[in-house]
Structure 1
Amino acid sequence: MRTLRPSSEDEMVATFLAAELTSPRFKLSLTETLAKLGHPQALITQADLSDPVQNKQRRQVLGDFRGYRQNRELFTGFPEELSWQLEALTPPEFLNILYIDYSYWTALTNGTRRPTDAAQFIRHGGLVFDHLPTEDFLHLADLFRTGTTWEPLICVRAAPDTPLVVLEGHSRLTAMALAANQLPHETPSSSAPPQPSPAGPATRTTHPPSRCGRTSRCQCDAVRRRLDGLRVAQRRSIAPGEAGAQVGAARIHPTTEARPRSAI
C-alpha cells in the first residue's frame, strides 16, 4: 500500500452516507432517518466537509441510522479515536481485504471471509444458507465492468501486520472481486498508521495504543480480535475500473469485543 494523503472522520462519515444512499438495501431507511431529523438529502449529496455544522449533522445521521458513536448496531464496541489516510492498493492487496465477521459473509465464503472465495461460490450458483440466491452480485459485477462509478470502500485494520476488513461496501467489494480483471494497477484506498506510544517517539510500532494504558506495543488479544481491520473511505467517486477505501487507526479498551451486523 502506498499512502496518498491524510483523510478524516468527517470524510469517512460523508462517504459512508453517500454510499448507503445509493444502496437498494439501505436507501429507504436512510432517507427516513434524514426526514425524521429534518435534514435534506443535499446534506449527503452535496456534502461540504469544511462546514462544521454539516459535519456534526452527518455524524448525527449516521448515529441514528447505524449506531455510529452510540455503541450499538454496526458500531457496537467501535473505537472513537482514529486516524485516517488514503492509500493506493494493488489488485492483490485489494482482493486481500476481508469481509466483516458476520454470518452471511462467512457463509458466502465458507468461513474464509475472502472476496475471491465469495466470487467462486457465486460463479458456481451457490445459495447462502442453502436458500439465498447470489445473482445480484453478478449484476453488480456487470455494472462495474461497464463503467458504473461507486463510492470507495470503508475499511478497518488493527495493526500494520493485520488484514484490512471492509466496514462499508461489502457488495461493491464482491462485485469487484467478480470482475477482478477490471481492477487497475493501483487502486485508491485509505489506511491508518499505528499511533505512537505516549511514552516514546513517534515511530512505527506494532499496535495502536489502547485505553488500558499500555503502549502501542500492547498485544491485547481482544483488541486484535475487534480491530481485525481498520477503516477505509475516501470522499470521491470511483472511476471506471477503480476501487477506493480509507483506513483509520483506533484506540479501544482491550476488553471490548463487538459483533457488528452486516454492512452490504
Structure 2
Amino acid sequence: MKLLLPVTLDEVVAVWLGAEVHSNRFGTIVCSMLRRDGLPAALVTDPDLTDEQANAARLGLLREYRGFDQADISFDTYIGGLPVRDLAWWRVSLDAGDVARLHYINWDYWVEVTGGTRLATTLASAKLAEPGETDTIDTALRDAFVAGTPVPEIILVDSGPNTRLVVLEGHVRATAMAMAGDNLNECTALLGRSDVVADQWFY
C-alpha cells in the first residue's frame, strides 16, 4: 500500500456520503434528508470542498444518520467513539496484495460470514465458489475493478504501517475487490491512520 497524498476530514466525509447516496441501504435516507433540508443533490454528488458551508452541511448529514459527533469529531453510534480528528487521513493506492489484507469490522454478521477471519477474501472465495448465489452487484463491481472503471473509494483505517487494514465504509466494494483477485486494477482508497485505532472495539 502506497501513501499518495494527505486528505482532509472534509474530503473523507464527502467521499463517505458520495458513496452511500448510491447504496441500496442508505441512499434513500440520504436523499430524503437532502429534500427535507432543501439541499441540492450536488452537495453530495458533486462536492465543493472549498465551500465551508457545504462542508458543514455534509458533516451534519453524516452526523445525523451515522452517529458522527460534530462536537468532538468522533464516530459515536456507528463506530463507538473513534476519534477521527486524531487520525492522519491519506489517499492510498491498493493492489491485490493489499486487498488480501482487508478485514471487515468486528460485527457479528461479518464474523459469521467469514468463519471468524473477517477477511474480505474469505467471503469473496465463498461467493466465487457458488456463482448462483453471487449477487449481480458483486459481479458488476468486480468487473469494474478489473476494468479500472471508476468506483467510489472505500474508507479504511489501520493503527500504523503493516498493521490490520479494516474497512469503515465500503464492505460490498471491498468484497468485489477481493473477488477480482490478481486481476484487480490498482485503485485508490482513503485511509485513517493512528495508534488509537488499535483500541477500538471494531478493529
So what's the TM-score if we normalise by structure 1? 0.66
Residue 77 (structure 2) pairs with residue 103 (structure 1):
no
What is the CA deviation profile of residues 211-245 of structure 1, one whole-angstrom value per residue up to 9, with x for unaligned ones?
A: xxxxxxxxxxxx6241xxxxxxxxxxxxxxxxxxx
The answer to whether the 8 A contact 1:77-1:258 is kept is no
The answer to whether the 8 A contact 2:3-2:90 is kept is yes
More displaced, 157-166 or 170-179? 157-166
More displaced, 57-66 or 35-44? 35-44
Q: 1:92 to 1:258 in 2, by over 3 A?
A: closer
Mapping for residues 60-71 of structure 1, pairs under 5 Å? 60-69=60-69, 71=75
Residue of structure 1 in register with 2:177 after alignment:
176
Mapping for residues 34-183 of structure 1, pairs under 5 Å? 34-69=34-69, 71-81=75-85, 82-125=87-130, 134-136=134-136, 137-145=138-146, 148-183=149-184
The answer to whether the 8 A contact 2:156-2:192 is kept is no
CA RMSD of aligned residues (A): 2.5
Q: 1:113 to 1:142 in 2, by over 3 A?
A: same
3-state SS of the aligned residue for 1:179?
Answer: helix
Unaligned runs of 5+ in 1: 128-132, 195-206, 209-222, 227-256, 260-264
The separation in 2 between residues aligned to 1:126 and 1:104, in whole angstroms, is 21
The separation in 1 between residues aligned to 2:58 and 2:142, in whole angstroms, is 30
Higher strand proportion (structure 1 or 2): 2
3-state SS of the aligned residue for 1:86?
Answer: strand
Q: Which has the larger radius of gyration?
A: 1
Residue of structure 2 in register with 1:31 after alignment:
31
The answer to whether the 8 A contact 1:33-1:64 is kept is no
Deviation at 1:134, TM superposition (A): 4.6
User: Which residue type is aligned with residue 50 of structure 1?
Assistant: T
Deviation at 1:86, TM superposition (A): 1.6
The answer to whether the 8 A contact 1:94-1:187 is kept is no
More displaced, 153-162 or 49-58? 153-162
User: Which residue type is aligned with residue 224 of structure 1?
Assistant: A
Deviation at 1:13, TM superposition (A): 0.3
The answer to whether the 8 A contact 2:20-2:26 is kept is yes
What is the percent sequence identity of the aligned residues? 35
What is the CA deviation profile of residues 164-214 of structure 1, one whole-angstrom value per residue up to 9, with x for unaligned ones?
A: 111111001111111123313x432343555xxxxxxxxxxxx35xxxxxx
Higher helix proportion (structure 1 or 2): 2
User: Which residue type is aligned with residue 88 of structure 1?
Assistant: S
So what's the TM-score if we normalise by structure 2? 0.84
Unaligned runs of 5+ in 2: none
The separation in 2 between residues aligned to 1:40 and 1:120, in whole angstroms, is 40
